[in-house]
Structure 1
Amino acid sequence: MDDTFSPSRHGLGHSTNLVGRPSAWMASPGFNDAPVALHIWGVREMNPALFTMLDQAETLAEAGEAFLAYMVAMFGIDPEQRDAAPGSRKRFRSSFLRLIQGWGFDSNGPEGAVLKGWVESRFGILPSFHKEIIPDTQGPVWQAYVAERMQSRFHDNAILVQLDLLFEFCQWAVARFAYPGQSHLTLYRGINAVDRHGILEQQSRRAAVIRLNNLVSFSSDREVADCFGDRIITTRVPLAKVLFFPGLLPSPLLRGEREFLVLGGAFRVSIEDI
């Protein structure tokens, strides 16, 4: 389970980040209850041509095509990566597409480590799990995560900048086309062994505040979430924390499970047996 936290309350994150908000607050249920917009410093200012082009789009599909065209031009991303399987012998320049696809196959693989590292770098929220619970930032589990996060094959081609642009595009698309006027979505996640999660507050058998990993998957389809555990957690996810959602791009990425990639932290959830 990639969303479990150590029962010990190790630090939530770094004291600095690139969004100008306290990391501990962004990882708290208070933020999730009353979110504010999050923007990575300088991304929109350094890419005015992209957002000028996006503003001309009349649909989300047009905006997605424009974003992909911009990314291909800026980073030389081969369009074939939209459908290339992780582990393919064909060599590609590092791309956000490959990371998202790799996450879909295994969130505890090297692509997942890079994505969790990006959240750590930009939002200051530390990961809690990568292959196993990370109890602290000194021990062998943390060191193994860092080694995988820093693999050179994923760190050419300004990969963190690509993810910055993806986040800013996602937030633009949420406000403009996908969920205008909304602040939250109700999403679902299948889990096992609730007691392995960092339960911060047990309000009742079916209501709790639990701490999730710094990047976590939810589904908008409860029946899909049923397939991934013996219990379902339901929560209101702030749209300000969404990195990727099905339909954001004209590609099959994460569509099958209607999967949302969300910045993590502590969430108020309801827990139900399947």
Structure 2
Amino acid sequence: MDKTAKPPPHQVGHSTNLVGIPTALLASAAYNAHPIPLRIAGVREMNKSFFTMLEDSPTLADAADALHKYMAAMFDLEPEQHEKAKRNDGVRRFRSSYLRLFKGWGYDNNSPEGAVLKGWVESRFGLFPTYHKEPILKVGSPSWAGYIAEKMSSRFHNNSIYVQLDIMYAFCQWALERFVAPGAAHLTLWRGVNDYDEHQLVERLGKRRAVIRMNNLISFSSERDIACCFGDNILEAQVPVTKVVFFSRLLPVHPLKGEDEFLVIGGDYEVDVSYF
């Protein structure tokens, strides 16, 4: 582990968020050890018919089909399967969708799509990103300005994209509780890294254990052998189920399928560090 790592900044996020608990608590290792439920304000209330419909789904595949149909109807996403839609004048224009963001993340989590996803986490959960193409050490820095420019670009930040992601997160949490990890508080997940540019050392707990500040949205794998493909240093974490935004089995077709990937809200995680 890098012994020269810089201490993390004190400010972890906004003073307010949309999940009803202090941002500093949500970002802490204490929350990860003892998680409490998270709900983005208003999502279930504004989409009551969808969650009522989900209760009639006997399998995860049926629930995913219900999600696809609901999102297509709500956000006019059916043409989005071809990533373009036509205006009345016949000119093609891009309509952003949650699926397109996950596709972009799968290619590069520092892409403009990745910036929008990190911006959604910042907006809803209050956590600042700590890395986008380069470390973001403070608000107002050049690296922060670059992140802001990409997250607000109209190419991907349109079509109520944050609302789409709100529904996606609520659906993911419902699916975890109903089909994948009923009653579980944590999942054991792994992340492979070659360096610690994207991770800030908060506290050493031992030779192979530490508290590390993760980016506000981070990828893990449910398989250690797969995590090894992404780096020689393997971080093992107990991730709260409440912090899972997306996972590989959630939808039948998506770009993250082959990596058993979990997209997880970041913060300070106690991790065990081992080597491939």
Classify the TM-score, shorter chain: over 0.9
After the TM superposition, list the runs of 4 or more consecutive aligned residues in structure 1 that deviate by more than 4 angstroms: none
User: Between the two proteins, what is the percent identity of the paired residues?
Assistant: 56
**1:236 maps to what in 2?**
238
**1:70 maps to what in 2?**
70
In the TM superposition, residue 181 of structure 1 has moved relative to its aligned partner by: 1.1
Using the alignment, how far apart are the partners of 1:135 and 1:160 within structure 2? Answer: 25
Cα displacement string for residues 239-267 of structure 1 (whole angstroms, at most 9, x for unaligned residues): 00000011111213311110000000000
Unaligned runs of 5+ residues in structure 2 are 84-91
State which drifts further: 198-207 or 62-71: 198-207
Normalization by structure 2: what TM-score? 0.92
Residues 198 and 211, structure 1, Cα contact 8 Å, conserved in 2 = yes
Counterpart selection for 1:261 from 248, 260, 263: 263
Counterpart selection for 1:193 from 188, 192, 195: 195
In the TM superposition, residue 79 of structure 1 has moved relative to its aligned partner by: 6.0
Task: Note closer, same or farther for the CA distance 1:141–1:20 as it changes in structure 2 (3 Å cut).
Answer: same
**2:53 maps to what in 1?**
53
**2:87 maps to what in 1?**
none
State which drifts further: 172-181 or 260-269: 172-181
Residues 106 and 112, structure 1, Cα contact 8 Å, conserved in 2 = yes
Letter in structure 2 aligned against 1:140: P
Counterpart selection for 1:221 from 211, 223, 235: 223
Residues 40 and 122, structure 1, Cα contact 8 Å, conserved in 2 = yes
Residues 19 and 38, structure 2, Cα contact 8 Å, conserved in 1 = yes
Residues 235 and 269, structure 1, Cα contact 8 Å, conserved in 2 = yes
In the TM superposition, residue 190 of structure 1 has moved relative to its aligned partner by: 0.3
Using the alignment, how far apart are the partners of 1:10 and 1:19 within structure 2? Answer: 21
In the TM superposition, residue 10 of structure 1 has moved relative to its aligned partner by: 3.9
State which drifts further: 192-201 or 37-46: 192-201
**1:179 maps to what in 2?**
181
Residues 198 and 214, structure 2, Cα contact 8 Å, conserved in 1 = no
Question: For 1:1-274, what aligned pairs fall within 5 Å after superposition?
Answer: 7-78=7-78, 81=81, 91-194=93-196, 197-274=199-276
Residues 135 and 198, structure 2, Cα contact 8 Å, conserved in 1 = no
Using the alignment, how far apart are the partners of 1:231 and 1:180 within structure 2? Answer: 31
Using the alignment, how far apart are the partners of 1:198 and 1:10 within structure 2? Answer: 12
Using the alignment, how far apart are the partners of 1:185 and 1:200 within structure 2? Answer: 22
Higher relative contact order (CA 8 A, sep 6+): 1
Q: How many residues align?
A: 265
Residues 6 and 135, structure 1, Cα contact 8 Å, conserved in 2 = no
Residues 17 and 121, structure 1, Cα contact 8 Å, conserved in 2 = yes
Secondary structure of the 2:17 match is coil
Using the alignment, how far apart are the partners of 1:131 and 1:197 within structure 2? Answer: 13
Residues 95 and 159, structure 2, Cα contact 8 Å, conserved in 1 = yes
Using the alignment, how far apart are the partners of 2:187 and 2:70 within structure 1? Answer: 29
Query: Could you say what the CA RMSD is over the residues aligned between the two structures, in angstroms?
Result: 1.7
Secondary structure of the 1:256 match is helix
Using the alignment, how far apart are the partners of 1:252 and 1:145 within structure 2? Answer: 25
Using the alignment, how far apart are the partners of 2:127 and 2:72 within structure 1? Answer: 29
In the TM superposition, residue 43 of structure 1 has moved relative to its aligned partner by: 0.5
